[in-house]
Structure 1
Amino acid sequence: MKGTRDFYNKTASEWANKWYEDESMVPYLMEFINYLPQNPRILDLCCGAGYESMRLEKLGAEVTGLDFSEESIKIAKKLNLHIKFVVEDMLNDYSYLGKFHGCIIIAGLIHLPNHKLSKAFEEVYKVINDNGFLHIAVKDGTGKSEKSSYITIEGEEYDRDFYFHTLEELKLYSSKKFDFEKEILLDKDSPWKYYIFRKCRTSTS
């Protein structure tokens, strides 16, 4: 069975076709960018094919996109010539990219079980400026979604490791790195939740 990276390499063009046309994230990005200085430097972590990177740039940000799917990054580079994109795993050290005023992780943490969340927050912490902000989108709940994880494409089976996360889980595993700031409530009926966290001033790591 193939894994998460294989799944997104296989479906990269489909995600691009959908999300370059879908403007539903714009209000959330606008809300987030209001927390940052003018023309902020933002890391789009787990950027996929770069659609939200594109929108952040239109909002005036200097954006760097990071994703472990090589095919997604190929599309992102082709469609966004003025944005920097890198192929990298969110659990690796990517501090070579420098510092950022803020970071977004839109549906990136859904591919991590709880025991890997602390590592993800640790790596983000390294690259966020003091008092910088983090915007997270997750699907509310706990545990692994069998329905969303196991997918068959052209006779090939994939496990894309889709996990639900509650706000309490995010608070627990980001502890000493990020403090919860607020929930962006634009659609109260959506199973997707949109949170803003602020980097802690000090870390005990």
Structure 2
Amino acid sequence: MKNTKDFYNKTASEWADKWYDDESLIPYIKEFFNYLPKKPRILDLCCGAGYESMRMKKLGADVVGLDFSEESIKIANKRNLGISFVVEDMLNDYSYLGKFDGCVVIAGLVHIPNEKLSNAFEKIDNVLNDNGFLFIVVKEGTGKNERSSYTEIDGEKYDRDFNLHTIEELKLYSFKKFKFINEIVFDKNSIWKYYIFKKVIR
């Protein structure tokens, strides 16, 4: 069975077609930017094909996008001038990218099970300035969602390892590195949750 990276390499163009024209996240991004300095340096972690990277650049940010899907990054590079994109796994060390004022992880943590969350937060902590902020978008719940994980495309079976997370889980696994600051709510009925954390200065 093929994995999460295989799934996004296979479907990269479909995600790009859907999200480059979908501006539904702009209000959330603008709210997050209120916590950051003007013209912030932002890491778009798990950036996919670069659609939100594009929007953050238009809002005045200096953006670096990171994703482990080579096909997604190819599209991101073709569609965005003036943005650096890197092929990398979010669980690896990417501190070579330097320091950032903010990090955005839009639906990236849905592919990270609880036992790997601490590592993910540690890697983010390593690249944020002392006054840095983190914006996380997750789907509410707990454990692996099998319905969202398993799919078949062109006769090939994929497991994209889709995990649900509660705010309690995020607080637990980010403990000592990040402090929960706020939840951004524009739709009270949404099962997607939008959280802001602040780096803990140690």
Q: TM-score range by the shorter chain?
A: over 0.9
- Give per-residue Cα distances to partners, 1:162-190, cap 9 Å, x unaligned: 00000000000000000000000111100
Q: Distance in 2 between matches of 1:157 and 1:81?
A: 35
| Residue in 2 that maps onto 1:149 | 149
Q: Distance in 2 between matches of 1:24 and 1:43?
A: 20
Letter in 2 for 1:19: W
Deviation at 1:104, TM superposition (A): 0.2
| Residue in 2 that maps onto 1:159 | 159
SS of residue matched to 1:125: helix
TM, length-normalised to structure 2: 1.00
| Residue in 2 that maps onto 1:172 | 172
| Residue in 2 that maps onto 1:195 | 195
SS of residue matched to 2:179: strand
Question: Is the aligned partner of 1:111 residue 2:111?
Answer: yes
Letter in 2 for 1:26: I
Deviation at 1:63, TM superposition (A): 0.1
What CA RMSD, in Å, does the superposition of the two structures yield over aligned residues? Answer: 0.3
Deviation at 1:67, TM superposition (A): 0.1
Deviation at 1:134, TM superposition (A): 0.1
Q: Distance in 2 between matches of 1:60 and 1:34?
A: 12
- Give per-residue Cα distances to partners, 1:86-131, cap 9 Å, x unaligned: 0000000000000000000000000010000000000000000002
Count of equivalent residues: 202
| Residue in 2 that maps onto 1:40 | 40
Letter in 2 for 1:142: T
| Residue in 1 that maps onto 2:54 | 54
TM, length-normalised to structure 1: 0.98
SS of residue matched to 2:105: strand
Q: Which runs of 5+ in 1 are unaligned?
A: none
Q: Distance in 2 between matches of 1:199 and 1:186?
A: 24
Q: Which runs of 5+ in 2 are unaligned?
A: none
Letter in 2 for 1:156: E
Question: Is the aligned partner of 1:182 residue 2:145?
Answer: no
SS of residue matched to 1:185: coil
Deviation at 1:160, TM superposition (A): 0.1
Q: Distance in 2 between matches of 1:174 and 1:131?
A: 16
| Residue in 2 that maps onto 1:81 | 81
SS of residue matched to 1:122: helix
Structure 1 ranges of 4+ moved more than 2 A: none
Letter in 2 for 1:18: K
